[in-house]
Each structure stands twice: as structure tokens, then as C-alpha cells.
Chain A
Amino acid sequence: MDYYRIAFYLFGALTVLAAVVVVWSRNLIHAGMGLLLTLFGVAGLYALAAADFLAVVQILVYVGGIVILLLFGIMLTQRIAGRAPRTGVVNRTVGALIATGLFVLFVMVIFSARFAELPWIAQGRMIDRESAPPVGSTVERLGQLLVGPYLLLFEVAALVLTVALIGAAYLARRSRQEGARPRRMIS
């Protein structure tokens, strides 16, 4: 077994097991830590797929930024820190049936897909064998694509973030003279 495979299965196992912790843990801090590990495992998978820039961004933005913010949010909000989520589990049987069914379906179709025989992947493999250019850093190429052919996508993504920012600011700000009833301040 080569090192690549070992690394792949290690990161894969890390991602899945940590995700299980996220879903099953009744303690929000544990769930947050699980999320951290899951996203780290995904970053590892990105790196193994030769998407080095994506892996770094995944660690910087998700692991380093968003999950840390999430954990701080949980810890600074004293009301929810040590408490289990109050929502119960409903529709246990139906949910389990649908989830299992989808899982089996996905596993079956993914294993039956035979990616190596798909036309576009077969073509890519042929080109690689002939010339095999060394894969360097992907940053430069990504940058060129983002301000070149995919400029519009880049701009629309910026708009999504702007909308999210405006929306979050609106929902989180202190109320002015709004609403039919005066709002009580949350201490």
C-alpha cells in the first residue's frame, strides 16, 4: 500500500468520524471541535487531490476563521455553552429509512460509475501520459481564471457575501423604534 492511499484513508476516516461526532454529540463545544476536525480532514483531501491553494484556504477560512468564531460564539453566549440542544428527534423511523436509502443509493451509483471510463476523464488521462507537464502551484492559474473567464462568477459571489452581510447586520442590530410592541432588552 503506497503512502498516498494511506494518507487518503486517514484523512477520509478523520472527516467521517469527526462528522459523526458533530451530529451525535449533545454538547455544543464537542460538536464545534468535531466540525473543526471534519473541515481539517477535508483540507487534507483537497491537498491530496493536488488542490493545494484550496487546501490552504480551507484551513485559513474554515478551520482558522469560521469554526473559531463559532466556538467563541458558543462560549461567550453563556446561555447555550453547557446546555444540550433542546430540540428532540422527531420522525425517527421515516428519517432513518430515507437516510439509509439515500446512502445505499449513493454508494451503489458512485461505485458503479467507473470514472476511469468516462470520456472526459479518459481524455485527460491520455493527455497526461503523453506530455505530463509538472503540476506546479495552482495559485497563479486560479488567479488568472478568476479575473479572466470567471470574472462574472467572482463578482456574483461577492454580491452573495454583500447580501449576507447586510442581512446579518439587519437581523443582529439593536432595534430602533420598531415593531408594534416595545422589545425588551436581553440582558
Chain B
Amino acid sequence: MWLDTLALMPVLLLVVAGLLIIVLDSLDNDSPVLPWVALLGLLGALVLELNRLGGGGRFLFEGLLRVGGFSAYVNAVLLLGGIATVIFCRAYLPRIWHAHGEVYALVLFALVGMMVMAASYDLVLTFLGLETMSVALYVLTGLAREDVRANEAAMKYFLLGAFATGFVLYGLAFLYGTTGTTRLDLLPTRIPNTPLFWVGVGLLLVGFLFKIAAVPFHMWAPDAYQGAPTPIAGFMATASKAAAMSALLLLLGHGLGLVRPQWADVLAVVAALSMIVGNGAALMQGEVKRLLAYSGIAHVGYALVGIASASASGYAGALFYLLAYASAALGAFGVAALWEQRPDRQLPAEDLSGLGRRHPLLGALWVLFLLSLVGFPPLAGFMAKYAVFAAAVQAGKIWLVLIGVITSMISAYYYLRLCVLIWRPVEAHPLPSSGQLASGVLLLTSALLLWLGLWPSGVLELVGRFFEDSGLVLR
């Protein structure tokens, strides 16, 4: 038990850092030290996770959860999102007068919940991780308490999220009632022949699909992202989706891996709807954060194509997609956070005009992030789309790939419009908030995009090793 606890060190580091922030905050209100404490914890956890990335997974606490391998990879993606979020928050929050110490603690606690989800092999633990993440995100969404829009966003997210939680719990009850276990490693041998079990699985799916904002459970996302502080919106769009997606992958790939035909088509339909509705609605958005929210819905669809392929290469493609999307979206939300200057925290697309002329480097990075989201060839987004589409073709889901390719081409329209807009010859305002750290994060994520696009084989091989050919997450 003692050694098992030691193996949870990355999570424990974040918990300790979070509690330390709360204590320090009560001693010295909103001290500038707090983001550094958070960063220290995050970097420590990232080093530990990267360290065990190559090794196989190891079960802890009698099979309750599993560290290393799969979870180390997802946790590294999550921690990357956490580091970027803390750094952008440090640059952004003082400008909207909300540089509270609690923010950093809540980001860390949300990450703890996400990391637990990515490692959990027991649905009860998955649920607890989901709740830890969700409760922290509800509060972070409503950070700007004096703003009606923030209140509406937080309220909407909270009420619908609580409803989705109900679905997860109800599904969990059905699952336990029909199988007698909540453990994912015991589930494959215990799948009973009763419709009640499948209704339970369906309810669980509704809950998870809500958390990753897949169509038709996506309604909350644009409002929530628009009302939340911009760096937090980026955090929700990347890290929380990655965590819920990996939990979904563990449930479907591992727990229900032997009955793939039963759920693969359902996920394929959800993926298709997400791609169509997400990209279609993004065409009509004038506000950048809303647009990125819809684009995020579409990208969830692309990642789901990998899971819907229900094969080892599909799962690996979905994992690769999560990293590629997270890097690009974190960068895009980061630029939006740095550039946003209106007191009502909105960023209409026209406000971007002139950005590139005033700050050519920032403009170039913005273009790079958006091109990766389109899936433009030498960038990570292209390789990620290629990976999931190839898996879908192998699985015989040609129609899904067709929808994916067509919606990608449609999406180019609104991404490219935003790319062109910033080079307009307009006198733009100076950058309202900046910081060497924030620029460093933007450079790092763009470097990651180039690296994943040009030399993807290393990461693709790594994620491929997590899955046996049968598709079960075993190594």
C-alpha cells in the first residue's frame, strides 16, 4: 500500500501544491507567488509522468487504477494543458481584476480529478475523478462573479452538468446491478445478456459525451466558453475533453472491448454529427471564443472517429489526436487571451484585424495554430486526422471518413478567414497583456505542432504500444 501511494506521486504533488496555495493565499491574499507554486507542482508531476511514459502500465491498489503507459501519456497531455493554463491565467487574470489565489488551486484540483480519470480502472473512481474535475470547472467558469454572462455560463454548465452526473450514476447503478462489478478489468467476462445492461451503458455514454461536448450533448459548450475567463475556456476545451475522452476509451476499449460491434456504430453516428454540427455552426460565429468552442465540438468528432473504428490503430490515433488538438487549441485560446481587451471579455472576430501587423510573431503563431486545426499538411493536425481516418478506412467506415474530409474542407473557410483577418492594414491596439512565460508557452506549443507533424512516428509508435492488437488496453 505504501509503495502504491508512492507511485501516485504526480497526483499527490498537485494535491499538496493546491493545498499549499490555499494556505499561502490565506496568509498573503492573492500573492504573486501562488502561480509559481502551481507551476512547480505541475512541472514536477510532468517530469515524473514523462519518466514512466515508456514503461508498461502497472496496477495499484489491487487493480483500482493503473499508472504508466496509457495514463502517463494522457496525464502528460493534461499537465501540458495545466501548465499553459496557469501561465495564461497569470498574464490574463490581473487584467480582469480576478487574480485570485483560489484559481490556481482549483486548476490543480481539477487536474487531479482528470488524472485520476485517465488512470482509473474502477468506474466509481472514474466518477469521483469526474466530479472533482467538474465541480472545480463550474466555479472557474463563473469566476467573474459580477458579470451576468459569466453567471449565466456557470449556471448553465452547472445545471446541465449535474444532470449529466445523474445519468452517469444511474448508468453505473444499472451496470453494477447486472454485472456485480464496477471494475473495468472484470467487466469483459461478466457482460450479461439483458437489455438493462445496455441501457446502463447508454446512460454512461450520455454522461461522458456531455463532458466531451459531443453532439447532441454539446449545447452548453459555446455559452460556457464565452462566459468563462479565456484561459479557463482553453483549459475546458483541451484538458477536460482529453480526460473524459480517455475515460471513455478505457470504458469502451477495455471494459466493453469484446462487444465492440454493439457500440462502434453508435459512436460513429455521434462522431459524424459532431463533425457536421460543430463545423457547420462554427461557420456562423462572429465571436472568437464561441467559434473555437464549436471548432472544439467538431474536433471531438474527429477524435471519436478513432474510437469508433474500434481497433488498436484507431485508439492510438484518437490518443495522438488529443495531443495534436490540445497543442493547437491551447495556443489559439492563449493568443485570444493575450489579445482580448474589451471590459466585457468578448473577442469579436473584427477585433483581431491588425494583430499580425502590430505583432508579426504572434500573428504567425496564430496562423500556425489555426492551420493545424484545419489539418494543413506539415502540421500535427494533418497527421492526427490522417491517423484516425486511416483507422476508420481499415474498419470499413468509409462514409465516416468522407464526412470527415468534407467537413474539414468546410472548416478551412472559417479558420482561413481568421488567418487573413489579422493581416488587414488596420491600426491595432498594443498587446494588453503579455509576458515572457506566455510567449514561451506559445512557442513551445507551436514547436510541438511542427514536431508532431514532421516527425510523428515517435509518438505514434509510443501510443500504438499501449494497445494490443485485440484493442484491449493491456500494456
A residues with CB within 8 A of B: 105-106, 108-110, 112-115, 118-121, 149, 151-153, 156-157, 159-160, 162-164, 166-167, 170-171, 175-181, 183
Contacts and interface: CB of A to CB of B under 8 A. Distances in A.
B106 to A, nearest CB: 7
Interface in B413-435: none
Contacts of A163: 106, 109-110, 132, 135-136, 139
Interface in B393-440: none
Interface stretch (B57-65, B207-215, B227-235, B366-374): B57-65
Chain B binding surface, main DSSP class: helix
Contacts of A177: 97
Contacts of B97: 177-180
A162 B194 CA distance: 39
A157 B128 contact: yes
Contact of B135 (A115, A160, A183): A160
B62 A119 contact: no
B194 A118 contact: yes
18 contacts: A106-B199, A118-B180, A151-B1, A152-B65, A152-B125, A156-B125, A159-B15, A159-B113, A160-B113, A160-B128, A163-B106, A163-B110, A163-B132, A166-B22, A166-B106, A175-B145, A178-B97, A183-B146
B129 interface: yes
Contacts of A110: 196
A114 to B, nearest CB: 7
Interface in B149-181: 177-181
Contacts of A178: 97-98, 100, 145-146
Given A106-B199, A112-B196, A163-B110, 13 more contacts: A114-B194, A115-B177, A119-B192, A120-B179, A152-B61, A153-B125, A162-B109, A164-B135, A167-B135, A170-B139, A178-B146, A179-B144, A179-B146
A181 B345 CA distance: 13
A35 to B, nearest CB: 15
Contacts of B106: 163, 166-167
B129 A156 contact: yes
A156 B116 contact: yes
B197 to A, nearest CB: 8
A166 B192 contact: no
Contact of A113 (B96, B131, B178, B343): B178
Contacts of B195: 108-109, 112-113
A37 B22 CA distance: 38
B27 to A, nearest CB: 16
A118 B192 contact: yes
A37 to B, nearest CB: 20
B178 A118 contact: yes
B142 interface: yes
Contacts of B15: 159
Contacts of A153: 64, 122, 124-125, 128
B145 to A, nearest CB: 7
Contacts of A167: 102, 106, 135-136, 138-139
